């Protein structure tokens, strides 16, 4: 994975977007305090949901999704191993 560098063009884009978003917020009469209060309310609402019923639903969902993912993953790996399409070079050529 290559790391992207922050060059002058990126900084200029960030400055332009910052001015544009600031201009829009100013025209909508949204103060920084209003914005941060809104974000804090949303984070608190998500936290309340998670600590209430949300975590239970996430765990139930995981109990369904994770086994399906594992079965699919291992089935695909077995299929790749049978057809010799594994990209792992250390395993050598497929044996027949």
Mind giving me the DSSP string for 34-72? HHHHHHHHHHHHHHHHIIIIIHHHHHHHHHHHHHHHHHH
pTM: 0.47
What token pair was written down for 39?
């974000």
The per-residue pLDDT for range 12-28, each reduced to its tens digit, is 999 999 999 999 999 99
How far apart (Å, rounded) are the C-alpha atoms in residues 84 and 95? Answer: 8
The per-residue pLDDT for range 47-87, each reduced to its tens digit, is 898 888 888 888 899 999 999 999 999 999 999 888 876 55
Element (H, E) at 10: helix 8-27
């Amino acid at each position: 994975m290559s790391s992207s560098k922050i060059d002058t063009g990126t900084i200029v884009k960030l400055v332009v977007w910052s001015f544009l978003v600031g201009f829009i917020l100013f025209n909508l009469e949204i103060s920084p305090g209003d914005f941060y209060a809104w974000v804090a309310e949303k984070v608190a609402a998500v936290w309340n949901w998670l600590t209430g019923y949300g975590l239970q639903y996430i765990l139930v969902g995981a109990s369904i999704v994770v086994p399906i993912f594992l079965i699919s993953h291992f089935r695909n790996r077995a299929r790749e191993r049978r057809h010799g399409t594994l990209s792992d070079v250390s395993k050598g050529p497929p044996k027949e």
